[in-house]
Structure 1
Amino acid sequence: MSIPTDRQYTAEHEWVQLDAGTATVGVTAYATDALGDVVYLDLPAVGSEVVAGQPCGEIESTKSVSELYSPVTGTISRINDAAVEAPEVVNADPYGEGWLFAVTVEAEGPLLDAEAYTALTDQG
């Protein structure tokens, strides 16, 4: 499984792509493999505040319900309505169309580069 090097990761298996003060957030392919088929997303509301390392939503699969953690502190600027309506896109394209939400960043939490995340998940 290839881990994109153009973003950073959390130990909770979220990815974050930072661009001019905005962070786009999703879950990794490692997470979707562990979860199984994603069937429901409970994402934070636009305008709500999130705190790095704190739960901010849920992802439900045929196997379990897991909390989503924000990799950054800031304000939710948009959510991926297409993924909410068709959660299977998270499994099909976790690093692209399956992104979850975007945050106007005030501060970053502890983040890993692709190499460190690969080591964490023993995918090397």
Structure 2
Amino acid sequence: MTAETLGKAGEADEAGGTGAPDADAGRRRRSPWLGFAMRRLAGLGAVLATLVTVTFLIVQLIPGDPARVLAGPDAGPEQIAEARERLGLGEPLVQRFAAYVGGLFRGDLGTSFTTGGSR
């Protein structure tokens, strides 16, 4: 080694380095905003999942029979059974929830229990 090379290595040692490239120099540091945004998105997902579940359960726990209301006061048992079938009230709760969530992703909010129409 020449004196010039030794001098440069010594300068690097005096600066706190070894003269070798820093191992962390190639890695980027994550922005604190990225962590903040990820936490907020996770929180948003939890709030939306809770909101969807609660709204579904509220609609399912409405007192009375939606099929009877939709069929009308003069409806017979056959008409009420047909309204229950049309509304999907004969399906298990888990299956209705899956259909509800799938409809939300498509923008279909389901059939109105009062008017019988869908939007």
Q: TM-score, normalised by structure 2?
A: 0.23
Q: Relative contact order, CA 8 A, sep 6+: which one is greater?
A: 1
Structure with the higher fraction of residues in strand conformation? 1
Task: Tell me which structure has the larger Cα radius of gyration.
Answer: 2
Structure with the higher fraction of residues in helix conformation? 2
